[in-house]
Structure 1
Amino acid sequence: MASRMVVRLIQKIMRRAKMEETLVSFGGNLLRFGLYAFVIIAALNRVGFQTASIIAVLGAAGLAIALSMQANLANLAAGVLILVFRPFKLGDTIETSRTLGSVEVITITNTQVREPDGRLVILPNNKVFTEKLVNVSAAKVRRIDLVVGIGYDDDLLKAKRVLQEILAQDPRVLAEPAPAVQVLELADSSVNLAVRPWVNNADWWAARCDLTERIKLRLDAEGVSMPFPQRDVHLHSAAPSPA
């Protein structure tokens, strides 16, 4: 009865601290088992049993189990750190070296991510916590990075003006930070322009697709070419050798 009261009190404190329910449940179970073990050992010691040998055996058994389950324990420890430090939460879109998608479930050993095509990816927490992790949902605004190539014979200033007009006409493009249209590089077959508007995070994908389509249609209508990589081959006839 006393152990239940202690466990409930600790869980209540953890909930007031706004910890994840998974961590609250795990912490409560861990504390409960620890209290049970303490009570049993104390009772055996009270009736005259030598508990030192029991503790030594349990310690050796625990060490053997820990060595044989290193990967699982690493996932367990990483899961606790994820739930405590909260680098992401349910519903966030995250990108790892293995996947990109929305977080659906966070357990003490793994994180489940739903990819855009509907597949559910189950990631070990140790991999999530130790490898590169990008929380796409963390920022309210996000920049779209587009590269638009125009021909060397096209009017560069006209192309920049057209691109700026396209951005100004889209209500999703934010005034601050200001969108940018700049010459990125003089490539082999084209002059590449960097088109970088900022939008709200929720609008990023739709705005990116719409702007890409509008840029293509508008540049076609304005007579600005978008060349593809090409190579010129020059053939030279060799002079006949003297007989």
Structure 2
Amino acid sequence: MFQLGPVLLKSIILLLVGRYVIRLILRVFGKTLEKYEIDPSLATFLKSFLNAILWVLLIISVATTLGLEMTSFIAIIGAAGLAVGLALQGSLSNFAGGVLILIFKPFRIGDTIEAQGTLGSVETIDILYTKIRNFDNKVVTVPNGALANNSITNFSQKPTRRVDINVGVAYGTDLKKTRKVILDVLKLDERIHEEPAPVVLFTSFGDSSLDLTVRAWTDAGNLWPVFWDNMENIKEALEEHEIEVPFPQRDVHHYYPEEKKE
């Protein structure tokens, strides 16, 4: 009993001092991450991970001080870790995926991405899951393992985007005149970049129309407003210049064979 008292007191002191040292290390580590401007999402993960490791080391040290055999203690931890690892295999995959996302940064919070059949804005990047808010305000939670191992389209990574508008005009239309009318409309929109310059390309002979593709460059944030506004403006300009925008139609020919002679 007399021997247990000093050992117990020593273990308590070690636990208290260790807790203080862990807080001090985490504070210094956090300031170091801020100094080097590490991404906040990655910084939070690294601090949590370091905190877990330090506490495991402290617990092992306290157990050693109390006289517990480390061989048995480590064996128990190993067996428990294996059981938990098998039970949480999917979660560990998501954890690894979260680490890869935080390190390689295929997207950031606020980016518009398309992944796993979901198109929307990234709201949060957690260790296991990423939350994406789509454009009708639904939040989709996607496992990080699936994100890290499949294709991701990031619409926000580049500062400029190309606007593509498809226009069909009737057969027999003067394409040079049509091209000029469309380009004149685009010149009025200050959001469209002069370089690369907008182009109007004749792309195919459609069933009922000559198909044109309009291409113009703008800032990424202006993509959809530029698309919607110029779709309407181009339609009005074509009507003003009496350029027909056709609808699908078919020519039907009736064939009447000669009546059979009796």
Taking structure 1 as the reference length, the TM-score comes to 0.91
Provide the aligned length of Structure 1 versus Structure 2: 243
Q: Counterparts in 2 of 1:60-139, with a 5 A limit?
A: 60-139=79-158
Structure-1 separation of matches of 2:97 and 2:35: 23
Contact in 2 for aligned 1:154/1:224 (Cα 8 Å): yes
Contact in 2 for aligned 1:106/1:112 (Cα 8 Å): yes
Structure-2 separation of matches of 1:11 and 1:43: 26
Structure-2 separation of matches of 1:81 and 1:198: 32
Secondary structure of 1:176's counterpart equals: coil
The counterpart of 2:240, out of the listed 215, 221, 224, is 221
Contact in 2 for aligned 1:3/1:35 (Cα 8 Å): yes
Q: Counterparts in 2 of 1:192-231, with a 5 A limit?
A: 192-231=211-250
Structure-2 separation of matches of 1:6 and 1:241: 104
Secondary structure of 2:132's counterpart equals: strand
Amino acid aligned to 2:230: L
Indicate the residue corresponding to 2:11 in structure 1: none
Secondary structure of 2:79's counterpart equals: helix
Indicate the residue corresponding to 1:170 in structure 2: 189
Contact in 2 for aligned 1:19/1:83 (Cα 8 Å): no
Q: Which runs of 5+ in 1 are unaligned?
A: none
Indicate the residue corresponding to 1:9 in structure 2: 28
The counterpart of 1:149, out of the listed 163, 168, 178, is 168
How much has 1:111 moved relative to structure 2?
Answer: 1.7
Amino acid aligned to 1:211: N
Assess, with a 3 A threshold, how the Cα gap between structure 1 residues 208 and 43 changes in structure 2: closer, same or farther. Answer: same
Amino acid aligned to 2:31: K
Secondary structure of 1:197's counterpart equals: strand
How much has 1:223 moved relative to structure 2?
Answer: 1.1
How much has 1:62 moved relative to structure 2?
Answer: 0.9
Which 10-residue stretch deviates more, 111-120 or 180-189? 111-120
Amino acid aligned to 1:159: T
Secondary structure of 2:140's counterpart equals: strand
How much has 1:146 moved relative to structure 2?
Answer: 0.8
Q: Which has the larger radius of gyration?
A: 2
Secondary structure of 2:194's counterpart equals: coil
How much has 1:199 moved relative to structure 2?
Answer: 1.0
Indicate the residue corresponding to 1:180 in structure 2: 199
Contact in 2 for aligned 1:150/1:225 (Cα 8 Å): yes
How much has 1:86 moved relative to structure 2?
Answer: 2.0
Taking structure 2 as the reference length, the TM-score comes to 0.85
Contact in 2 for aligned 1:11/1:27 (Cα 8 Å): no
Identity of aligned residues (%): 38
Amino acid aligned to 1:62: G
How much has 1:27 moved relative to structure 2?
Answer: 2.7
Which 10-residue stretch deviates more, 38-47 or 83-92? 38-47
Q: Which runs of 5+ in 2 are unaligned?
A: 1-19
How much has 1:145 moved relative to structure 2?
Answer: 0.6
For residues 75-130 of structure 1, give each alpha carbon's deviation from its aligned partner in whole angstroms, at most 9, with x where no partner exists. Answer: 11111222222222222222224222222222212222222222222222222222
